[in-house]
Chain A
Amino acid sequence: NAGVTQTPKFRILKIGQSMTLQCTQDMNHNYMYWYRQDPGMGLKLIYYSVGAGITDKGEVPNGYNVSRSTTEDFPLRLELAAPSQTSVYFCASREQGLEGYTFGSGTRLTVV
């Protein structure tokens, strides 16, 4: 049981490049989330999903896209990277109910 796995751990992008941050979980959780955390700040929700085929915007969705074709995977897509997207990105999942969220170890992204 690996929990929530994020890849890559680190990435440097040039302005205007695109990339996909991968997130997969093996706990059969219905709910999945993407957060970003800027230096010294709390986490902000980008997108979330309550099940395969269903996604919705969080607090800071601009510049990002997501898809949820399977229960296990919830990739986050950056189409035109900007320096403002330099951040640490965390993926999380949880089962329906009161149980706590399980977070991945994060992807540290730098846009130059």
Chain B
Amino acid sequence: DAKTTQPTSMDCAEGRAANLPCNHSTISGNEYVYWYRQIHSQGPQYIIHGLKNNETNEMASLIITEDRKSSTLILPHATLRDTAVYYCIVMIKAAGNKLTFGGGTRVLVKP
């Protein structure tokens, strides 16, 4: 599976959009981009995933560049409850595929 690079940490103002970048320059054509988050002491929570088209759900939007070498997770209106570590993971679709977690981005939403 391709490796990802994320900033170690970032701050965001409550009520503003939070834009979380992720680089995955070695991504292959059949690898999907997944985003998870982990709020302190809890199990990771699935947010969104995509292959090449932009995706949106009730939690967030995922923007994938045309060359697929990077992506951005957008939390449209960050709240204090969005403070968490956010993981960007690329993974091939295959039987028994396994999530591999890197260091993630520690996001602190401030009032």
Contact indicator B87/A42 (Cβ below 8 Å): yes
Taking a contact as CB atoms closer than 8 A, the residue among B32, B42, B46, B103 that contacts A101 in the complex is B46
Closest B residue by C-beta to A43: B101
Contact indicator B43/A103 (Cβ below 8 Å): yes
| Closest beta carbon of chain B to A9's beta carbon, Å | 10
**A100 in the interface, Cβ–Cβ < 8 Å?**
yes
Closest A residue by C-beta to B103: A42
Residue total for B at the interface (Cβ-Cβ under 8 A): 22
> Complex: how many Å from CA A50 to CA B96?
6
Residue total for A at the interface (Cβ-Cβ under 8 A): 26
Residues of B contacting A45 in the complex (Cβ-Cβ under 8 angstroms):
98-100
Contact indicator B96/A106 (Cβ below 8 Å): no
Given contact pairs A42-B102, A92-B43, A98-B32, a sample of 14 additional A-B residue pairs in the complex whose CB atoms are under 8 Å apart: A4-B43, A33-B98, A42-B101, A42-B103, A43-B44, A45-B98, A45-B99, A45-B100, A48-B98, A92-B44, A100-B46, A100-B47, A101-B44, A106-B42
